[in-house]
Chain A
């Protein structure tokens, strides 16, 4: 039986659209029907923009007819609700932005629009991207399509679940401490966090500005290369976006990994690693070795300090970034007897518990007398973490490791214990602190049938070697071909 359109990757759907065998409107209608029928089981979407999507699809159809199409023309995408979309509700899964319709597009959205992509809607996340399970959404949890009583991961849980459940062809998420790679791992899809500065953050609602980066969530590695190609590059509206030339990312795919030195960090295989994850990742390392890669042991000695460093740096930046939600210029306001009371009421009722927790932590860490002990100390440890990677990449071209210490956990399991939840990000956080790229690619399933991801990390701007390694692994295995039944 022919593969249904909704489960196709970008790279398989694009030629079919190109040959006119199916039109962008037909594809979009199929997805909208599927979302309408099935998303109540997953709750990936916060907003479905049927009218907007069909209008974009009609435009795409005209472009296809006129021969002005790109690979992405007519491809239906879902966007994490942290990305500003002009005129379309952008909530960050927060009550405080419940009614916010941005007057502009994020640069990544503008670029995808220009390429002719179709935006099906906005997908769920932890409020302001703070969380690892999507349970912190003010608008309800997203279910893992592989086992609906389990979390999809977070914070880009809606993006990963929508891709895994074939409720879009691909998606964009954001990654501050693992928020693309961890949900991709938990949902059995591909998630790429680019190098800090590779993709413009303009229009990405800020959580921790020195760590945030936008990236693709896709069914296959090639699609991650295609989407990254479309969104990468300097943008005058983000002064931290880097002028480095953007290489042809698809060129890296299919290149041999024979003789490629792949570092295995011993600190990522210690106690606390779930046996199923260990088995899957160790088998993945054997696969890479069988493809001719040269596995070398490397050490990232400051790994055990990464979570503590992150929960100073990220919350400090968050407390400053989220000061803007004051009930004056946009968002929801709760009145009070005076200005101060209006601020109190607006922010207390607008933000959920995790967001308030992080704002308070960050406020404390930056407050008079504590700056040296917390923020400065953490920034110094951050330098040590960066140096660990610099030293490791002197010995290898890429690093292979687990994404998360366990497969997806059950909904509700960790929600009352923030610190335990934070520790589940131990293997992803370092890449954000160091600013390096990383990908999650499916590498196995747990005894419960939950997906497990392999993480490949590269040096700054090493997206080509990350994609090359992930693609070689993917093509040698068939974990990415399985689909959940839900």
Chain B
């Protein structure tokens, strides 16, 4: 097994996902199946091959830093689950 039950729980925590008890075994099995399949990549000798991170023939897309109109505050807040005094409202942190 590549990924233990505990590691699955740790990854779920990193991704901020709560797992139900009955889901832990299912995900552990499925993630291991997939990772085992992905190990196929190790068959290939890739020494000296540069990684291809993106394929667009564009290196940098610079533009002038001009002040322009942006989304009005009320519209930016329109979809917020909770808001107060023109701000996003989140649970108390401190």
Structural contact, B37 and A308, CB atoms closer than 8 A = yes
Asked if B67 is an interface residue, CB under 8 A from chain A, the answer is: no
CB <8 Å contact, A338 and B41: no
Cβ contact within 8 Å between A240 and B56: yes
CA A380 to CA B53, docked complex, whole Å: 9
Chain A residue with Cβ nearest B93: A339
A326 part of interface (Cβ distance < 8 Å): yes
Query: A197 within 8 Å of B by Cβ?
Result: yes
Among listed A44-52, A99-107, A474-482, interface-contacting one: A99-107
Query: In this assembly, does A458 line the interface, its C-beta being within 8 Å of a C-beta of chain B?
Result: no
User: If A242-B58, A384-B49 touch, does A357 touch B44 (CB 8 Å cutoff)?
Assistant: no
B1 within 8 A of A: no
| B2: nearest chain-A partner, CB-CB | A364
| Known A240-B58, A356-B17, A367-B11; contact A419-B37, beta-carbon cutoff 8 A | yes
Check if B15 sits within 8 Å of A379, measured CB to CB: no
Question: Which of A57-65, A180-188, A328-336, A399-407 participates in binding chain B?
Answer: A328-336
Least Cβ distance of A198 to chain B in Å? 9
Q: How many residues of B contact A (CB 8 A)?
A: 51
- Where chain B touches its partner, the secondary structure class is loop
> Assuming A327-B81, A339-B91, is B51 touching A363 (CB within 8 A)?
no
**A308 pairs with B40, CB closer than 8 A:** yes
Whether the pair A374, B55 counts as a contact (CB closer than 8 A) is no
Contact residues of B between 35 and 80, Cβ < 8 Å to A: 35, 37-38, 40-42, 44, 46, 49-58, 61, 63, 71, 75-76, 78-80
State which residues 362-385 of A face B: CB under 8 Å. 363-364, 367, 373-374, 376-384
Contact between B38 and A357, CB atoms less than 8 A apart: no
Nearest residue in A to B78 (C-beta to C-beta)? A103
Bound complex: CA of A165 vs CA of B31, how far in Å? 37
A386 and B58 form a contact (CB under 8 A): no
Contact A197 B56 (CB under 8 A): yes
B56 touches A242 (CB 8 A): yes
Q: Name the distance in Å between A273's Cβ and chain B's nearest Cβ.
A: 20
B16 touches A308 (CB 8 A): no
Additional A-B contacts beyond A102-B79, A363-B11, A382-B51 (15; CB < 8 A) = A103-B78, A305-B40, A308-B37, A309-B41, A327-B81, A344-B18, A348-B19, A353-B23, A360-B31, A361-B35, A367-B14, A378-B38, A382-B52, A419-B30, A419-B34
Residues of A at the B interface (CB closer than 8 Å) are 99-104, 196-197, 210, 236, 239-240, 242-243, 302, 304-305, 307-309, 311-312, 319, 323, 326-333, 335-336, 338-340, 342-345, 347-348, 351, 353, 356-357, 359-361, 363-364, 367, 373-374, 376-384, 386, 418-419, 422, 433-435, 460
